Amino acid sequence: MLLEARLQAASEPAHNAALGRRMLDVLKRHDVNRVGFYWPLTGEFDARGAIALWLAAGAQREASLPVVRERGVPLEFHAWTPDTPMKLGHHKIAEPISGQVVIPDLLFVPCVGFDAAGYRLGYGGGYYDRTLAAWPGATQPLTVGVAYEACRTDALQREAHDMPLDLIVTEAGLYPRPVN
């Protein structure tokens, strides 16, 4: 049901334009220099255009995409620009071949669905939760889920390893994680 709702929302050009603007607003508000994001799968928002605009507006900025070194281990983020050569990696998802590791200050995470408590539903592989649990930097990145409003739900089932996101951005608004 959520995959269908996301696919329908992704087919609306106005939703994608609004989501791109809101992602840029988040980047401006948080004034970071290193951003991690994701290569879009079917139905996911394609953030490459927004990230390319963000990169072009600042000399010290770096963007990166996840690289799956092997199943079951944390993701690495490798430098990406719109001109970076790519290869097909695990799960047949494009990965940069730059080899340059970047530790993001802000991490955009794709969502199949999300709830009011800041939890996301992904594809069930646990890559982002595992990556955040073993984060290599001294400070965790700001985690920002990227979703369509149609994929919001009251509550998702959670597992012990699930980690809430700091913020969810949709075409309709921003949802900060509630203070407990």
- Residues that constitute the known binding site for substrate: 44
- Binding site membership: which residues? 44, 120-128
Task: Give dist(CA 104, CA 65) in Å, integer.
Answer: 10
Q: What whole-number distance in Å separates Cα of residue 112 and Cα of residue 7? A: 10
- Binding positions for ATP are 120-128
Q: Got the DSSP string for 48-103?
A: HHHHHHHHHT-TT-EEEEEE-SSTTS--EEEEE-TT--EEE-GGG-EEE----B--
| Distance, CA of 73 to CA of 128 (rounded, Å) | 10
